[in-house]
Amino acid sequence: MARYRDAVCRLCRREGMKLFLKGQRCLTDKCAIERRNFAPGQHGKSRRPKVLGYGLQLREKQKVRRLYGILESQFRSYFEKAAAGKGITGENLLFALERRLDNAVYRLGFATSRAEARQLVRHSHIQVSGRKVNIPSFQVAPGQEITLRESSRQLPSVQRALDVAGGRGLPSWLELERETLKGRVVSLPKREDVNFPIQEQMIVELYSK
């Protein structure tokens, strides 16, 4: 399966903002944006071209794609399904990305980043309504429970994630019983639940050209 294998801090520097791709490290002064807030590459510090029109739309699409850790072909597939559905295309796109299982695991605080959450899912540490699901793109639905397997609850990475997750907050479409580490999908996501600066209309305009 194709995936990005280079340093993820380069992605944050390219977009000029924190995408929180390295979990807890992004909250410290070791974060690449804190230390080198300019584009990567030999000329990144000296070259700051003015970005307009298509360039702004492209950067917005790349930002969202990298935030959720999705490759181009999969992202386009999400967009096509969003455009074919009822409602506002841009919001449909964001809702589909939010309902990914790896994102839900991250949002519940079981992981410090979406990449770490994806690894938990792929390694069969996550159950949905009592059944093992190891597909990160699985779309969770209202009424479903998201839990860690009994043997996975004491993983050091999970305990570390739970310790730092409190400051992130929980979106309204999810609930968490912290004592039992049981999460529940109580509703579909709303636009205000996507608490990251995203201009989804730019992505719609980009793909509509």
121 lies in the same domain as 182? yes
Q: Let me know whether 59 and 130 are in one domain.
A: no
Q: Indicate whether 55 belongs to any domain.
A: yes
The whole-number average pLDDT for the span 30-59 is 68
* pLDDT value for 196: 87
Grade residue 90 by pLDDT with cuts at 50, 70 and 90.
Answer: very high
Task: Identify the band that residue 85 occupies on the pLDDT scale cut at 50, 70 and 90.
Answer: very high
The yes-or-no verdict on residue 35 having pLDDT over 70 is no
Give the alpha-carbon dihedral of 104, 208, 202, 196, to 10 degrees.
0
In this predicted model, what pLDDT tens digit does every residue of 94-115 receive, in sequence order?
999 999 999 999 999 999 889 9
**Average pLDDT estimate for 51-75:** 90
- Residue 48 included in any domain: yes
Number of domains in the chain: 2
Note the pLDDT of residue 15: 66
pLDDT in tens, 124-148: 999 999 999 999 999 999 999 999 9
- What is the SS3 assignment for 172? coil
pLDDT above 70 covers a percentage of the chain that reads 75
| Predicted pLDDT of residue 127 | 96
Please indicate, yes or no, if residue 181 is contained in any of the structural domains.
yes
For residue 22, pLDDT over 70 is answered with: no
Does residue 1 lie within any of the structural domains? no
Contact 88/202 with Cβ under 8 angstroms? no
- Would you put residue 179 in left (φ > 0), alpha (ψ -120 to 50) or beta? alpha
Q: pTM for this one?
A: 0.85
CATH of the domain at 56: 1.10.1050.10
Residue 26 has pLDDT above 60, yes or no: no
* Residue 30 domain boundaries: 9-97+197-207
Closest by Cα among 15, 34, 179, 186 to 107: 186
CATH number at residue 152: 3.10.290.10
On whether both 81 and 156 belong to a single domain, the answer is no
